[in-house]
Amino acid sequence: MIALLPVIVILGSGVAFLIASVALVRRSERRLSTGPDEPGSSVAPGQTGAPEISAYLDRMTAELRLPAADVAEVRAELADHLRDSIASLEAEGFETERAIREALGRLGPPAELGRQLRVAHQSTRRLLAGAGGGVFAAGGGFVLGYLGGIVLAMLGFLAVSALVALLAAVGVHLPGIFGDDDGATVNSLLYATTILVATAVATRYAVRTSAGLSRRAPRTVAVFWAVAGALVFGWLAIFEMRGPQSWPSVGLELCIPVVAVAAAFVRIERPMPHVGRWAVVVSVVSLVVLVLGVYAVNVSVSSTSGSAPLSSLVVCSAPDQSTSCQPDFHLETVAPMAPAAWLPEGFPMNGGSNSFGASGASFDDQFGSGQSALSVAAILSNWTDVRFEAWHALPMNEPGPGGIDTRYSSPFAVQPAVSSGSHLTAVFHFERLRDASPWWVVLTAVGPDGHRYLLDGGQGGSSDFNGSAWDWLTAPQ
Amino acid sequence: MNHGDGLGAAPSLADERQRVLAAVEDLDGGPPTGPVIFRRMQERATDTEAGERPEAGPNQGDQSLLYPALHSLEASWLVHATWQSDGKGIRHRTYRRRRLLPRRLVGAQRS
């Protein structure tokens, strides 16, 4: 229970933040649109001097340029004031026509009154409140948009899948535009779509909320939020947010600054879709389920992570011992096996291990004989340029033993083997390479005759790209 | 237009804010509307003791800065505005001085 306390606190804070941001957005929406609190029609049809008062208020409103609720309130208040003023003047003995002119004249020129009221409403304090509220609403909008984006992306994926299946059923086979990448492209598109939706919602929340709080027209403050949204969300999406990537998803992420600008301007005067109680409940439940799911996955992964013996590690100590190298992983593509005569008694290696983490894929080979591990330097004294080579491999989900893809004649990544006692290690960052998966890593070295030989048959695996859009664009391959 | 007639010179918005705020505080017993506040401002301008310099007040009947001042005070969080219905169902916008503490506590502190 105590271990869950941080999760409960974080979840509670997140839910409170979302509820507060939605409440702030709804308050601003009521200000920007004439809601249920609207004081009603400003001038009653039967009111004394209704045409003159309406004309005066219309000229005043033209200079007001405030949110709709404020305009309605000002008009209603001034109409009420004029009603009272005309009645007082008539009680003092003024004729009706003169009382109307006098009452309107005391309020001054309508355009000047509208300008003064606009200045009074658009105070610096409200401008600062609008800026702060906009940032707050953008944060909540990004989270809500992200959750909504996941749902939208999933629905879109299901719709496309259903359409493809339907077309296939009637004999129309579409070309495989996503290639054979174990769903990495689809994952990256889902990821990019969620960020796009989150950016659009966050920017729109920021514009509408800051406009309502600062008593300014949405299009007036949209310029600021368009620039801020394009810079902040563009920076986050292109440089900071890391996840699966592909060329289509990177293309979408590069459009995020444009999406922020469009969300700030396109039809920004229209009210936001009403965020009802059920939408909030569904969002909160989705957030809770998402966080708990991520937490459960992390717990599951952490309990099984760590270095593990390579079950697929195949070691060949001599070229003629091909039976020990079964199944055939096409290792001859790399280099011939090292002659047994050039290897000491301590060869082959006792085994190897690998581990995967944020720093990349780490490979570790240990040399040993019997109970005692031997020094790598002693074993490989007559070998030079000892290195790990990463080769493209055959897809692991296809039938067959797998192994190195013979269409390639050279490795796509090479790391020098670093000796440490009886170990040789190297670290590869496959998650920063495009099209690196699936891979096969082997250990090679240059023998006494000056030719390169295979020391360790290595092992294969699969690592999807995981980085920012910029990492993808600047990846070495 | 009544600019220039009556007492004093053309008022500034800052002066009008001070006068409006003083009138709202005078009328704190019941939330007043704009016309009530204006009448109180006129009373304050003319309700001076003999021998004293009359309080600088609005020109006679000039209400051009009344609502800009009221709305400016509301934007500065110095007054709080609410809509209230009278006995005939007509809604009026009323103003009250905004305080951090309830009025009873403020009164107890002063006494």
**DSSP per-residue string spanning A124-186:** HHHHHHHHHHHHHHHHHHHHHHHHHHHHHHHHHHHHHHHHHHHHHHTT-----TT-SSTTHHH
- What's the confidence (pLDDT) of residue A477? 64
CB contact under 8 A, B93 and A105: no
Q: How far apart are CA A47 and CA A96, in angstroms?
A: 12
Could you tell me if A358 and A431 lie in one domain? yes
Q: Would you say B35 and B94 are in contact if contact means Cβ atoms under 8 Å apart? A: no
User: Quick check: A76 pLDDT over 50?
Assistant: yes
Amino acid at A218: P
DSSP A87: H
A111 located within any domain: yes
Label residue A178 by pLDDT band (50, 70, 90).
low
Q: Which of A74, A77, A113 to mutate to test the interface with B (most CBs of B within 10 A)?
A: A77
Q: Which tokens is A233 given?
A: 């969300």
A377 pLDDT exceeds 50?
A: yes
Helix (H), strand (E) at residue A475: none
A188 pLDDT above the threshold of 70: yes
Residue B31 preceded by cis peptide, ω within 30: no
Domain residue limits, chain B: 13-110
One domain, residues A94 and A208: no
Domain boundary among A91, A121, A151: A121
CA distance B111 to chain A (A): 33
Q: Do A121 and B75 touch (CB under 8 A)?
A: yes
Mean per-residue pLDDT over chain A, rounded: 81
Confidence of residue A332 (pLDDT cuts 50, 70, 90): confident
Position A260 pLDDT exceeds 80: yes
- Tell which of A121, A138, A167 closes a domain: A121
Domain-embedded: residue A43: no
More confident residue, A8 or A368: A8
Which stretch of A117-131, A320-334, B27-41 has the lowest confidence by average pLDDT?
A320-334
The verdict on A356 and A288 lying in the same domain is: no
Mutate to test the interface with A, among B38, B63, B65, B88 (most CBs of A within 10 A): B63
* Statement to judge: residues A348 and A453 lie in one domain: yes
Residue A254 pLDDT greater than 50, yes or no: yes
Tell me, yes or no, whether A31 lies in a domain: no
**A36 part of a folded domain:** no
Closest partner CB to A108 (pick from B1, B13, B77): B1
Neighbouring residues of A247: CB distance < 8 A, sequence distance ≥ 6: none
pLDDT band (50, 70, 90) for residue B11: low
In a 3-state reduction of DSSP, which class is residue A409? coil
Structural Rg of chain B based on CA atoms: 15
Q: Are residues A372 and A284 in the same domain?
A: no
Taking only the tens place, the pLDDT of each residue in B14-46 is 889 999 999 998 887 778 999 999 999 988 887
**pLDDT at B48 (0 to 100):** 55
Per-residue confidence (pLDDT) for residue B102, from 0 to 100 = 64
The span from the CA of B24 to the CA of B19, in Å, is 9
Say yes or no for a CB contact (<8 Å) between A126 and B92. Answer: no
Q: Is residue A280 part of a domain?
A: yes
A148: confidence class by pLDDT, cuts 50, 70, 90: confident
Q: Which two tokens stand for residue A348?
A: 């082959």
- Rounded-to-10 torsion of CA A314, A316, A317, A318: 170
**Running DSSP on this structure, what letter comes out for residue A399?**
S
pLDDT of B57 above 80: no
Is residue A302's pLDDT more than 90?
no
pLDDT band at A360 (very low <50, low <70, confident <90, very high): low
Q: What is the pLDDT of residues B90-109, one digit of tens each?
A: 889 999 998 876 666 555 55
Are residues A144 and A128 part of one domain? yes
What's the pLDDT score for residue A365? 64
In a shared domain, residues A129 and A235? yes
Q: Say yes or no: A89 and A165 in one domain.
A: no
Q: Is residue A214 part of a domain?
A: yes
* Cβ contacts of A121 on chain B, cutoff 8 Å: 71, 75
Mean per-residue pLDDT, A336-356: 65
Q: Which residues of A touch B93 (CB under 8 A)?
A: 39, 73, 76-77, 80
Token pair for A412: 């796509």
Q: What is the pLDDT of residue A370?
A: 45
Q: Which residues of A375-409 are buried (b: 16+ CB within 10 A; e: fewer)?
A: ebeebbeebeebbbbbbbbbeeeeeeebbbbeeee
ipTM: 0.81
Both A135 and A280 in one domain: the answer is: yes
**Are A284 and A400 within one domain?**
no
CA atoms within 13 A on the CB side of A397: 6
CA dihedral A135, A136, A141, A144 (to 10 degrees): 150
Give which of A262, A261, A257, A268 is closest to A211, Cα–Cα: A268
pLDDT of residue A212: 93
Nearest to A69 by CA among A40, A112, A107: A40
Q: Over 90: is that where the pLDDT of A396 sits?
A: no
Distance from CA of B33 to the nearest CA of A (A): 8
What's the number of domains chain A is made of?
Answer: 3
Tokens of A111: 């355009």
Closest Cα in chain B to A215 = B75
Residues 6+ apart with CB under 8 A from A446: A383, A384, A385, A452, A453
Instruction: Copy the structure tokens of residue A57.
Output: 């208020």
- pLDDT band for position A403 (cuts 50, 70, 90): confident
CA distance A388 to A21: 52
**pLDDT score at A278:** 77
Quick one: CA dihedral A298, A305, A431, A182, positive or negative? negative
Instruction: Kindly report the nearest CA distance between residue B51 and chain A, in angstroms.
Output: 30
Note whether A289 and A430 are same-domain residues. no
**Domain final position from A121, A139, A158:** A121
Residues with Cβ < 8 Å from A178, sequence gap 6 or more?
Answer: A185, A186
Domain with A116, as residue range(s), is 50-121
Q: How confident is the model at residue A177 (pLDDT cuts 50, 70, 90)?
A: low
Q: Which residues of A touch B1 (CB under 8 A)?
A: 105, 108-109
Lowest model confidence (mean pLDDT) among A115-124, A195-204, A274-283, B75-84: A274-283
Closest CA to A85 of A56, A33, A49: A49
CA distances from A19 to A128, A282, A337 (A): 22, 12, 65
Query: Is the pLDDT score of A311 beyond 60?
Result: no
CB-closest option in B1, B71, B76 to A117:
B71
* pLDDT tens digits for range B39-55: 999 888 876 544 455 55
Same domain? A115 vs A184: no
Residues 6+ apart with CB under 8 A from A218: A32, A207, A208, A211, A268, A269
Confidence of residue A126 (pLDDT cuts 50, 70, 90): very high
Q: What is the CATH number of domain B13-110?
A: 1.10.10.10
Tell me, what's the pLDDT at A275?
62
What distance in Å separates the CA atoms of residue B94 and residue B30, rounded to the nearest whole number? 9
Is the CB of residue A391 less than 8 Å from the CB of residue A334? Answer: yes
Inter-chain contacts counted by CB atoms under 8 A, chains A and B: 81
Residue of B nearest to A88 (CA): B35
- Establish how many alpha carbons lie within 13 A of residue A5's alpha carbon, considering only the half-sphere containing its beta carbon: 3
pLDDT given for residue B2 in this prediction: 43
- Tokens 């600054």 locate to A257
pLDDT of residue A323: 43
SS3 A367: strand
Tokens 């514009």 found at: A207
Instruction: Dig out the tokens for A137 from the structure.
Output: 């609403």
**Kind and range of the H or E run holding A304:** helix A277-304
pLDDT at B1: 41
pLDDT of A304 higher than 60: no
